[in-house]
Amino acid sequence: MQMTLAQKLLQRHTNDAITQDGQIVSCSVSVVLANDITGPLAIRSFLGMGAKKVFDKDRIILVMDHFTPQKDIDSANQVCISRTFAKEQGITHYYEGGACGVEHALLPEQGLVQPGDLVVGADSHTCTYGGLGAFATGMGSTDIAAAMALGETWLKVPASIRVEYTGRMDPMLRAKDLILLLIGKIGVDGALYKALEFGGDVVDSLPLEGRLTMANMAIEAGAKAGLFACDAITQEYCAAHGGLIVEAIGPDAGASYEKTVTIDITGQKPVVSCPHIPGNVKAVADLPTIPINQVVIGSCTNGRISDMRDAASILRGRKVDPHVRCIVLPATPTVWKECLYEGLMEVFMEAGCIVGPCTCGPCLGGHMGILADGERAVSTSNRNFKGRMGSLQSEVYLGSPLVAAASAVCGRVAGPEDL
Amino acid sequence: MLYTGSVHTVGEHIDTDAIIPARFLVTSDPKILGSHCMAGLAEDWIARVHEGDILVAGRNFGCGSSREHAPIALLGAGIPLVIGHSFARIFYRNAFNMGLPLFEIGDQVQAFHEGDVISVDTDTGIITNQTRSATIQCPPIPASMAKILAAQGLVGYVKKRLASQA
């Protein structure tokens, strides 16, 4: 059988012969992930199941990233639950405090996920690791508890949608624009229960961090996974992050797809996703003047070093509009230090940004940048649901770091060409 | 199991931030989460809901985050099951894992209106709209999901399995 990437990756983890989409298979998992919000629930379920030991203490990863640094007594108490569990179980990869970063930026950077892996995480953006050529999908805490106890989970083999990006990429266009264009085209349930398999000349030459950005938002189209082949770019990244030597993995020629979506990006300019749904995608240039109060540059979507460099390229020698608070949150301690050593921190501070810790914080309206009634933000994160960043009467626009930084300078939703 | 209750309708693409906003995710207590159910849609939504009321949702209900707090909040609010046009996949798994049955009925959701009194037989999949004297036969709950529901959720299901291995 000629296999899609989804079929091929799942086949590596099941003894059942995969013969068709829709088949339910029992799979062994490579990595099981939870965070400070979903971990305590998973632990409660794990204990409720009567489980005594995790299946493998080296393959459970707990990252206390959402409300870090602990924002109040309740969130601090939640972290205690995970910390105690990690200690009792001898969990190797437990991240808190200064070692902590935004989980989906941290794991690839630390070489904790490899191409070909099957990763399940109690966080919907677990699909990020599809950028590395891993089958990765989000689940709830109790599914994760079962995986922690058994080392396996059940999965339905998803039908795949092949997405081909063709054409010439504008120098101001980024991976974020590419994925927003897709979500705008197929809608927020356009890939419901399915896998997105990305290909075409444009993504074949896309740097790995951009692939992670795109895979990250597969869930915003309802997808179970967003997958990239593991190629020379992936192999180079893995060698540099954890010194991993990995084999190339790609779909078979002639594999069967539910459909193919082709997106020609020639002449395409930067876009934003307008409130209150990620599928509401418009070219920045087509928008009227929309004043803003806040900009957030960071998150599991766009908090990596290439994103920080993009933001700094706009902010260098410029000032953030006095009516805007521009919050820069490098996603991991390593990214933070790279920003420091490369002089990007100086750029951000001279421009008038607030530089904060490695946290999910404002992306989910947790803390460190909450919107008031009637306020509006441009964010490099992945969701702009009503009330996502604070008040139900606030608005969030999603865009690339170039768009976010340009908006911070202009005091309105703007692109790099507006400067 | 037969459930009878009044219908509350919500629109399409209701995300888990609407079902339970992130600022309430500092607990996993069903009653506390239930008291904030749908606070991301309207702060006073929960005040209109009574124990046993049934939710009827549009397309892609439960999209967004993987937070299991969403089905827990619905159960905590006293809602025993959800009928929807379609469901986001993580929410779908989570709901059954928490013991919240879901019925996916596509465009037939349009036959239900706010305040209708309906009864749902979760074993046969028959939904009767008593207010409008209409009946719908839903596809049965998939066998893999029914097994989990029968054990009151995935915790009970895995508990049995681990006990049988011991």
**CATH number, domain containing residue B140:** 3.20.19.10
Subunit contact A192:B158, Cβ cutoff 8 A: no
- Give the chain B residue nearest A77 (alpha carbons): B26
pTM score above 0.90: yes
Q: Indicate yes or no: CB of B60 within 8 angstroms of CB of A188.
A: yes
* CA separation, residue A345 to residues A216, A238, A340, A355, A383 (Å): 26, 27, 5, 8, 26
Output the CA torsion sign for B54, B59, B60, B62: negative
Burial class (CB in 10 A: 0-12, 13-18, 19+), B133: exposed
Instruction: Using CA atoms of A92, A94, A97, A98 in order, give the dihedral in degrees to the nearest 10.
Output: 50
Relative to beta strand B126-129, strand B134-137 is antiparallel
Q: Answer yes or no: is pLDDT of A257 > 80.
A: yes
Q: pLDDT 10s per residue in chain B (166 long)?
A: 899 999 999 999 999 999 999 999 999 899 999 999 999 999 999 999 999 999 999 999 999 999 999 999 999 999 999 999 999 999 999 999 999 999 999 999 999 999 999 999 998 999 999 999 999 999 878 888 889 999 999 999 999 988 988 7
In chain A, the percentage of residues whose pLDDT exceeds 90 is: 100
Asked whether the CA dihedral A240, A245, A248, A249 is positive or negative, the reply is: negative
Within 13 A of B118's CA, how many CA atoms are on the CB side? 30
Average pLDDT, chain A: 98
Q: What is the mean pLDDT of residues A297-318?
A: 98
Query: How far, in Å, CA of A278 to CA of A223, rounded?
Result: 13
One-letter-per-residue 3-state SS of chain B? CEEEEEEEEECCCCEHHHHCCHHHCCCCCHHHHHHCCCCCCCCCHHHHCCCCCEEEECCCECECCCCCHHHHHHHHCCCCCEEECCECHHHHHHHHHHCCCEEECHHHHHHCCCCCEEEEECCCCEEEECCCCEEEECCCCCHHHHHHHHCCCHHHHHHHHHHHHC
Q: Is residue A120 within 8 Å of residue A139, measured between CB atoms?
A: yes
Question: What are the two backbone dihedrals, phi and then psi, of residue A30, each rounded to the nearest 5 degrees?
Answer: -90, -45
- Tell me the shortest Cα–Cα distance from B152 to chain A, in angstroms: 12
Specify the DSSP element, H or E, that contains A312. helix A305-315
Give me the number of domains chain B comprises: 1
CATH placement of domain A271-418: 3.30.499.10
Which residues of chain A does B28 touch, with a Cβ-Cβ cutoff of 8 Å? 40-41, 44
Length reported for chain B: 166
Does domain A160-264 fall under CATH 3.40.50.300? My reply is no
Give the CATH class of A22-156.
Answer: alpha beta
Per-residue DSSP letter, A230: B
Q: What is the residue whose two structure tokens read 């933070």? A: A336
Whether the pLDDT of residue A163 is over 80: the answer is yes
- C-alpha torsion angle, residues A223, A225, A230, A231 (rounded to 10): 10
Choose from B63, B92, B160 for mutation: most chain A CBs within 10 A: B63
Q: B98 to chain A: which residues are within 8 Å by CB?
A: 140, 142
The 10 Å Cβ neighbour count of residue A46 is 27
Query: What digits encode the pLDDT tens for the residues A168-178?
Result: 999 999 999 99
Residues of B in contact with A78 (CB under 8 A): 26
| Residues A186-238 pLDDT 10s | 999 999 999 999 999 999 999 999 999 999 999 999 999 999 999 999 999 99
What is the three-class DSSP state of A353? coil
Kindly list the residues from chain B whose CB atom is less than 8 angstroms away from the CB atom of residue A142: 68, 94, 97-98, 153-155
Domain span at residue B130 reads: 2-165
Contact yes or no for A416/A311 (Cβ under 8 A): no
Contacts of B38 in chain A (CB under 8 A): none
* Residue type (1 letter), A309: R
The residue extents of the domains of chain A are 22-156, 160-264, 271-418
Tokens of A157: 């083999």
* Cβ contact A140–B26 (<8 Å): no
Please answer yes or no on whether A387 and B18 come within 8 Å at the CB atom.
yes
Fold matches, A22-156 and A271-418 = yes
Q: Which one of B33, B38, B66, B161 makes the best mutation probe of the A interface by having the most chain A beta carbons within 10 Å?
A: B66
Q: What average pLDDT does the segment A237-251 reach?
A: 97
CB A282 within 8 A of CB A289: no
Confidence of residue A266 (pLDDT cuts 50, 70, 90): very high
Rounded Cα distance between A310 and A174, Å, is 10
Q: State the DSSP code for A372.
A: P
- Alpha carbon of B147: minimum distance to chain A alpha carbons (Å): 13
Average pLDDT over residues A371-379: 98
* Contact between chains at A41 and B68 (C-beta distance less than 8 A): yes
Length of chain A: 419
CB contact under 8 A, B94 and A140: yes
- Is the Cβ pair A222, B60 closer than 8 Å? yes
Residues of A in contact with B69 (CB under 8 A): 37, 41
Q: Quick one: pLDDT at residue B143?
A: 84
Q: Which helix (H) or strand (E) holds A148?
A: helix A141-150
Q: Is A189–B93 a contact, with Cβ atoms under 8 angstroms apart?
A: no
**CA distance to partner chain B, nearest, from residue A316 (Å):** 34
User: Residue A103 pLDDT > 90, yes or no?
Assistant: yes
Q: Is A45 helix (H, G, I), strand (E, B) or coil?
A: helix
Contact A373, A394 (CB under 8 A): yes
